[in-house]
């Protein structure tokens, strides 16, 4: 706990906080008595989380937020500043995935992924940035190994994460002189509902996971690593042995990793390619 004691009373904003990694992050920051504002579309679930933590002495405020809507993102930040007067940490966690070949996918699906994964990050960061700079705080993008190299069957997902990376890397360089910490957190496959809600070629949720969830990272493990990464001012946080190997291999053996990824993803049940 001691290395994290300075987190006490820090103001943390988390998007996509109604489930998965976002919910786990909320509970993880609550351990250190942070003041937390959580955003997502599912206000009922947000309220349940906040009520549970408020009853245990942690200040948590739920704000109904659709990150594809700029005014919702601005409102999330405005409500945070209204309640606490500052922002120390922004975690852009809201995200959606897909599973379809590009030749089959409706373009509206890719628009949806860009709106959530990329524009949601841009909107929230834009309005939080002045407060984060004042606090010499941290902005985090919860990304994926798909943001370091393309994943077959996930063209829109990889594209949105690549875009997020470019945005955050540029933000980091622009703010080298003012103490802003920017971290890209890239978990490997994690046992969340993102695969259940992943969009298929026509935009409908696939409704089931194509992978063995028991062999994945848990949201709690990912949350712990992200908080530690913030404390240690990490630049890129790549999680999972398979994630670290694939990102390294992409740099030194790109053709090999292309073939390995193809075979790996083709093994999924009902894979859109073989």
**Distance (Å, whole) CA 125 – CA 133:** 11
Q: What is the pLDDT of residue 269?
A: 73
44-102 pLDDT, tens digit per residue, is 999 999 999 999 999 999 999 999 999 999 999 999 999 999 999 999 999 999 989 99
108 in any annotated domain: yes
Give CA–CA dist 226/203, Å, rounded.
Answer: 30
Give me the residues paired with residue 268 across strands: none
Which pTM does this prediction carry? 0.90
- What the block records as the tokens of 21 is 């990694």
Copy the structure tokens of residue 126: 């834009």
Distance CA 111, CA 106 (A): 9
Specify the pLDDT at position 105.
Answer: 93
Query: 1, exposed or middle or buried, with CB in 10 Å at 0-12, 13-18, 19+?
Result: exposed
Identify the pLDDT of residue 3. Answer: 63
Radius of gyration of the chain from its Cα atoms, rounded to whole angstroms:
18
Q: The domain spanning residue 13 has which CATH number?
A: 3.40.50.720
- Pairing type for strands 89-92 and 138-142 reads parallel
Q: Which residues of the chain have pLDDT under 70?
A: 1-3, 191-196, 207-215, 273-274
Full strand arrangement of the beta sheet holding 35-40: 60-64, 35-40, 11-15, 89-92, 138-142, 181-186, 236-238
141 HSE (CA, 13 A, CB side): 31
> Residue 44's domain spans which residues?
2-244
Distances (CA, A) of 18 to 94, 119, 129, 215: 9, 19, 23, 23
Q: Residue 258 domain-assigned?
A: no
Measured CA to CA in angstroms, residue 160 lies from 117, 122, 248 at distances of 6, 12, 21
Any domain includes 253: no
Tokens of 142: 């919860």
Residue 261 included in any domain: no
Q: Kindly name the residue from 157, 196, 262, 264 that is annotated as catalytic.
A: 157
Number of domains in the chain: 1
In a domain, 194, yes or no: yes
How far is the CA of 196 from the CAs of 96, 200, 207, in angstroms? Answer: 10, 10, 4
In a domain, 255, yes or no: no
Strand runs (DSSP E) across 79-164, as ranges? 89-92, 138-142
Residue 135 φ/ψ region, left for φ over 0, alpha for ψ in the -120 to 50 degree band, beta for the rest: alpha
Q: Please, what is the end-to-end C-alpha distance for the chain in angstroms?
A: 48
Query: Do residues 54 and 64 touch, judged by C-beta distance below 8 A?
Result: no
Tokens for 167? Answer: 């945005």
**Does residue 131 have an active-site annotation?**
no
Please list, in sequence order, all residues whose beta carbon lies within 8 angstroms of the beta carbon of residue 255, skipping any fewer than 6 positions away. Answer: none
Position 183 in a domain: yes
Whether 249 maps to a domain, the answer reads no
């Amino acid at each position: 706990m001691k290395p994290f004691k300075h987190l006490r009373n820090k103001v943390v904003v988390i998007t996509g906080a109604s489930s998965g990694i976002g919910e786990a992050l909320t509970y993880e920051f609550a351990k250190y008595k942070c003041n937390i504002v959580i955003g997502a579309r599912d206000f009922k679930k947000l309220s349940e989380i906040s009520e549970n933590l408020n009853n245990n002495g942690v200040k948590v405020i739920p704000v109904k937020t659709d990150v594809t809507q700029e005014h919702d993102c601005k409102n999330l930040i405005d409500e945070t500043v209204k309640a606490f007067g500052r922002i120390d940490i922004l975690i852009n966690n809201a995200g959606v995935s897909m599973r379809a070949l590009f030749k089959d996918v409706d373009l509206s699906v890719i628009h949806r992924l860009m709106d959530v994964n990329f524009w949601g990050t841009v909107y929230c960061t834009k309005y939080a940035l002045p407060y984060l700079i004042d606090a010499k705080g941290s902005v985090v993008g919860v990304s994926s190994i798909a943001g370091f190299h393309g994943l077959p069957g996930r063209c829109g997902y990889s594209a949105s994460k690549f875009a997020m990376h470019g945005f955050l890397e540029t933000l980091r360089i622009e703010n080298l002189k003012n103490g802003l910490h920017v971290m890209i957190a890239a978990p490997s496959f994690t046992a969340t509902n993102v695969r259940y809600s992943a969009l298929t070629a026509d935009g409908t949720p696939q409704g089931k996971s194509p992978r063995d969830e028991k062999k994945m990272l848990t949201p709690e493990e990912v949350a712990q690593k992200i908080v530690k990464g913030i404390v240690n001012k990490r630049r890129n946080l790549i999680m999972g042995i398979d994630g670290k190997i694939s990102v390294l291999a992409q740099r030194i053996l790109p053709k090999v990793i292309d073939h390995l990824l193809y075979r790996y993803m083709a093994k999924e049940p009902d894979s859109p390619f073989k």
